[in-house]
């Protein structure tokens, strides 16, 4: 119904042990629109989910439908912690929307 894989559901809900088990059995995080997913998590201020997405390989420079990166959104909203998380994950400070 929502198009989410079991792995994404485990990551979204903070079930790291379940996510690890799924990965051990071949699951990989394949999000149709990773940029929008990550940008939505940033916009909601969900730092835990953002960390988990990044830890599972989502590109911190992926873009949403408006060509904005998660760093654009975090910077525009003054979200210091999320800016730091994204920079630590390799977000590019030179990308433009």
Tens-digit pLDDT string for the chain (97 aa): 667 788 888 888 888 889 889 888 988 877 777 888 899 899 999 999 899 889 888 999 999 889 999 999 999 999 999 999 999 999 999 999 8
pLDDT at 84 (0 to 100)? 98
pLDDT at 45 (0 to 100)? 95
Asked if residue 70 lies in contact with residue 60, where contact means CB atoms within 8 angstroms, the answer is yes
For the chain, domains (ranges, CATH) are 6-88 (1.25.40.20)
pLDDT at 1 (0 to 100)? 62
**What are the residues whose beta carbons fall under 8 Å from the beta carbon of 33, sequence distance 6 or more?**
64, 65
């Amino acid at each position: 119904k929502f198009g989410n894989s079991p792995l994404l559901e485990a990551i979204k809900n903070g079930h790291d042990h379940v996510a690890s088990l799924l990965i051990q059995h071949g699951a990989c995080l394949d999000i149709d629109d990773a940029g929008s997913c990550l940008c939505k998590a940033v916009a909601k201020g969900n730092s835990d989910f953002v960390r988990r997405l990044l830890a599972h390989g989502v590109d911190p420079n992926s873009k949403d439908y408006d060509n904005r990166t998660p760093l654009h959104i975090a910077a525009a909203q003054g979200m210091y912690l999320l800016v730091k998380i994204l920079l630590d994950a390799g977000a590019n400070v030179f990308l433009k929307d």
